[in-house]
Amino acid sequence: MSSEPADPDFRPHRVVVLALDGLLPFELGIPHRIFGRPKDARGRHLYEVVTCSIRPPGPVETDADFAIQIEN
């Protein structure tokens, strides 16, 4: 998106994904697959997908043997 033409009226929709302890990594990945790819005719991402925790940035536990490192 660094070569994106300047357009003050364009803003992608923001999709916020809330990551809670015990989450299923399988499910956490779905919104990124669905919303992370669509672009308009000028190649701009239509959605901005942001994964958030209810705590300060840090690890969120999953139901698997690894944690997710959340930045937001």
- By CB under 8 A, name the binding residues for a copy of itself: 19, 24-30, 32-33, 36, 49-51, 59, 62-72
Considering the complex, state which of residue 6 and residue 38 has its C-beta at the smaller distance from a copy of itself.
Answer: 38
Query: What are the φ and ψ backbone dihedral angles of 32, each rounded to 5 degrees?
Result: -70, -35
Instruction: Supply the minimum distance, in Å, between the C-beta of residue 62 and a copy of itself.
Output: 8
Instruction: Supply the minimum distance, in Å, between the C-beta of residue 54 and a copy of itself.
Output: 14
Distances (CA, A) of 46 to 1, 21, 52, 54: 11, 29, 19, 25
Considering the complex, state which of residue 4 and residue 27 has its C-beta at the smaller distance from a copy of itself.
Answer: 27
Q: Which of 53, 45, 51 is nearest to 13 (CA)?
A: 45
